[in-house]
Amino acid sequence: MSSGIATSVEQLHTPYPYHAGQRIPLRDSNGVEFLVDIVHEYPFTISPAVVVNLHKDGVVQEAVLKLYDRRFGELRKRRLPSGKKQPQPHTKESEAAFQDYARSGKLIPVFNRLKHVDLMYDLHREVIPPPDPEEEEKRPERERLAEEEATFYYNIQKRYTDEVRVYDKLKHLQGRGIPRFFTTVTLHMPSPPPDLEPSYFQVPGILIERLHGFNLSDLVTEMPEGPHEVWADIIQKAIDLAVEINRAGVLDGDSQPRNAIVTRREDNTYEVRRIDFGEADLESDLTYYREHEPDLFKQTAMTAGNPDALGGVMVSKVKRLTGVKLDVVYNEPFPESGGLPIPEGIY
């Protein structure tokens, strides 16, 4: 085989494995192994989310499996000198670069650097700019691939940990405002190298309650007949839920209608639940890092506008699609608190 062909094989994208009809082995947080059958795939952005049938203790149960797999999803981007971001698919070559880095002890320094960037933000709100794409262009490609792969690993692990922590923090809302949380799971990537840290080759995931409904963003197409009061009632529920989540000490970095699910109850009333907490912060983190700023969480929540990012966006969308102006109440999570102080020099 010529080296040209070998290279092109290495650059083939790793095939996406989470399709309906696939059976996959999982291990739960107690180390119990079981199989799940994928029966439905949702469109996703960062984390593959699929409906599975679980085979456990002789019974079959339905759940949603959400996976945090560094090999797939929209986190995988390379910033070009033009400022554009280009999808960066996982390939044999990028995996080999990552494994070389792991083997030569270069991965840990990359993780430490990424942790430092996060910490500087948590402690001082200092944003450390990402590497200059022009400088990056000059680095050997193999090194870039390795560092990117390490960054994707770090970022996806962080989303996983954040989401699990939010489900724990919002325990009282499980089964009402958010799905019930069943267990964390892990899945093994094929052929993990025996000499390297196993967790680099494990895909963490969560098994949560499947909600039968539609994304709030599709309100008008899913319920074209309304009635308008029901649209307003559903949007109001989404606003109130966002307020409740903030007041429970969770700040959502990804508050948007696609991350709210509308379900119809048996009595024909509607219920809204929030999903997708991969970008959420906890009040306890802010308090931990900035104990001298006791109002920071409330101020940040007021500035972030989680309720409006659902309610305001949906009211505008309904107006745009149907001309109907809905009446909803824009509740604030902490009305007694203002937003974040404006940094000096800006007025």
289 touching ligand ADP, by CB under 6 A: no
Q: What is the footprint of ligand ADP within residues 42-101 (CB under 6 A)? A: 42, 44-47, 49, 64, 66
* DSSP conformation letters of 84-149: -EEE---BHHHHHHHHHHHHTT-HHHHHHHHHHHHHHHHHH---PPPPPHHHHHTS-HHHHHHHHH
259 touching ligand ADP, by CB under 6 A: yes
On the CB side of 99, CA atoms within 13 Å amount to 15
Binds ligand ADP by CB under 6 A, chosen from 206, 261, 272, 296: 261
Q: Which does 47 bind (CB under 5 to 8 A by kind): Mg ion, ligand ADP, none?
A: ligand ADP
Nearest to ligand ADP of 145, 254 (CB atom): 254
179 touching ligand ADP, by CB under 6 A: yes
Which of 248, 315, 245 minimizes the C-alpha distance to 284? Answer: 248
Angle of helix 107-124 versus helix 92-103 axis, rounded to 10: 90
Nearest to ligand ADP of 110, 310 (CB atom): 310
Q: Which does 255 bind (CB under 5 to 8 A by kind): ligand ADP, Mg ion, none?
A: none
259 touching Mg ion, by CB under 5 A: yes
On the CB side of 237, CA atoms within 13 Å amount to 20
User: Judged by CB under 5 A, which stretch of 51-59, 63-71, 177-185, 252-260 contacts Mg ion?
Assistant: 252-260
Binds ligand ADP by CB under 6 A, chosen from 24, 107, 206, 208: 208
162 touching Mg ion, by CB under 5 A: no
255 touching Mg ion, by CB under 5 A: no
Binds ligand ADP by CB under 6 A, chosen from 26, 275, 286, 326: 275
The end-to-end CA distance of the chain, in Å, is 65
Nearest to ligand ADP of 77, 142 (CB atom): 77
Distances in Å between the Cα of 258 and the Cα atoms of 26, 42, 182, 261, 314 are 28, 12, 22, 8, 10
Q: Which H helix or E strand runs over 207?
A: strand 202-208
Angular region, 83: left φ>0, alpha ψ -120 to 50, beta rest: left
Size of the site for Mg ion (CB under 5 A): 2
216 touching ligand ADP, by CB under 6 A: no
Binds Mg ion by CB under 5 A, chosen from 276, 302, 314, 328: 276
Nearest to ligand ADP of 96, 211 (CB atom): 211
Q: Which amino acid is at 169?
A: K
Task: Return d(Cα 52, Cα 155) in angstroms, integer.
Answer: 25
Burial letters 94-120, b for 16+ CB under 10 A, else e: bbebbbebbeeeebeebeeebeebeee
Rg of the chain taking only CA atoms, in angstroms: 22
240 touching Mg ion, by CB under 5 A: no
User: Judged by CB under 6 A, which stretch of 105-113, 121-129, 205-213, 229-237 contacts ligand ADP?
Assistant: 205-213
Q: Which residues bind ligand ADP (CB under 6 A)?
A: 42, 44-47, 49, 64, 66, 179, 208-211, 215, 258-259, 261, 275-276, 278
Q: Which residues bind Mg ion (CB under 5 A)?
A: 259, 276
